Amino acid sequence: MFLTRLSRHKLPRLTRHLSSVTTTTNTGASYSKLRDHYSFKPPPSLSPTPQNPNPNPIKKKSKPKYRPPSSLDAPKKIRSNLPFDFRYSYTESSPTVRPIGLREPKFSPFGPGRLDREWTGVCAPAVDPKARSEGFGGEVSSKSKQEANFDPFSMVLFFSFGVTCLVLCLLVHCFVGRDGLTHNMLNDIHNHWKHAEATRIRCLGVPTVDMKNVCTQLEDKTSGQIIFRHCGTLVLYRGRNYNPKKRPVVPLMMWRPHEPVYPRLIKTTIDGLSIEETKEMRKRGLAVPALTKLAKNGYYGSLVPMVRDAFLVSELVRIDCKGLEKSDYKKIGCKLRDLVPCVLVTFEKEQIVVWRGKDYKPPVNDAYFLTHRESFDNPESDSDCSVEERDSTIH
């Protein structure tokens, strides 16, 4: 009883003491004697308001909101000063052969509105027709562009440089397959020329039937020079004065366009023969012993001279093409028709049967092979001089 009375009497004093403590702490928080007695200045971090606020705070730039790509946005058109018509393949298509129809609408393979040239379904012709005769980039002629990139070589140094480049550029190479020299391959060659003076090109399959056309198109479209050739292996030199920063603009094709419709290679009746004579010739052609058998993705550079030599003995020649694609041996037959020349008889049973014709005359200039030192400067006339004659002209 006594303790409870004491607690009751001391309770108001305790509450008064607590209230006084809280008031002193609150006043101490707002006012301190340290500043008066010791002239203490608190740092800016402790002051409630900064003493020298930054008048021009740096504001972070807000990132633009993500906008998904839309087909309604008009892309920038790519302008290229290359003087030739853009085709999917430069070796397997000829501008002289006119197609009879298209397999698809005229959608540009470069993308809608991405190129300043119109797609005709076969090619994208140059905008300025005068640029065709002006040469590379529309600034220099075809002869002066070679002189701009190349200095005169002696033949001995020319050949030795080709061999050294072949060794150095073993890892830098391109492949030319059944589609031949395609348009996007031009960009690959210029990309290789950034890191090496020369690039190695391996040709396999259908384009190797006419290697001279492959070499001519490579030099014409890339403005380079072939300094070494062995079978289907080429070394393409960029030139001493080549500047990768001033390389031409080569727009890329986004997809492969469909080939147009061309006239039939094999007609119902051969010109000058009746239907019965045509059927009889096709039967005899399939029974003739095969001249050779073509391997898939092989080298066919000696096929044209072999057919020419066979026509001296027999009027019909059969070439075994088992294992090849149908489009491949049709292209081979088309090349033989123009290069030998000859008449196509049939493509049945994966065979190419050709006829030399009634009034066959062997070609007078039979120099089909190209020498390994030939620079391909004159693609219209074949050089018939041998290696020994070239060595004699050097000395």
Residue type, 335: K
Q: What is the pLDDT of residue 337?
A: 92
Whole-angstrom CA distances from 52 to 30, 40, 174, 351 are 22, 18, 68, 94
Rg (CA), the chain: 40
What does the block give as tokens for 295?
A: 């391997």
Instruction: Give me the sheet containing 198-203, strands edge to edge.
Output: 173-176, 198-203, 233-237, 225-230
pLDDT tens by residue, 121-158: 899 998 654 544 444 433 334 445 555 565 555 545 55
Domains assigned to the chain: 74-263 (3.30.110.60), 275-355 (3.30.110.60)
What does the block give as tokens for 387?
A: 């290696």
- The residues near 77 (Cβ < 8 Å, ≥ 6 apart) are 113, 114, 115, 116
Q: What is the pLDDT of residue 22?
A: 47
Distance CA 332, CA 20 (A): 111
Distance CA 101, CA 263 (A): 9
Residue among 371, 330, 369 nearest 353 (CA): 330
Determine whether 181 is exposed, middle or buried from the number of CB atoms within 10 Å of its CB (0-12, 13-18, 19+).
buried
C-alpha torsion 128→134→139→145, nearest 10: 140
pTM given for the model: 0.68
Q: What is the pLDDT of residue 304?
A: 93
Instruction: Give me the sheet containing 343-346, strands edge to edge.
Output: 290-293, 316-320, 351-355, 343-346
3-state SS, residue 295: coil
**Residue carrying structure tokens 């397997």:** 92
Yes or no: say if 382 and 368 are a contact pair by the CB < 8 Å rule: yes
Whole-angstrom CA distances from 104 to 111, 122, 124, 313 are 15, 11, 16, 46
Low pLDDT (below 50) residues in the chain: 1-4, 6-8, 10-12, 14-29, 129, 131-143, 155, 369-395
Q: What is the DSSP letter of 245?
A: G
pLDDT tens by residue, 28-69: 445 556 666 666 676 776 666 555 556 666 777 788 888 887
Give, for 345, the enclosing helix (H) or strand (E): strand 343-346
Distance CA 40, CA 52 (A): 18
Full 3-state SS string of 3-26 = HHHHHHHHHHHHHHHHHHHHHHHH
For 7: left if phi > 0, alpha if psi spans -120 to 50, otherwise beta; the answer is alpha
3-state SS, residue 202: strand
Q: What is the pLDDT of residue 241?
A: 87
Number of Cβ within a 10 Å radius of residue 140: 15
Distance CA 124, CA 126 (A): 7
What does the block give as tokens for 320?
A: 């075994």
Q: What is the pLDDT of residue 391?
A: 37
What does the block give as tokens for 184?
A: 């996007």
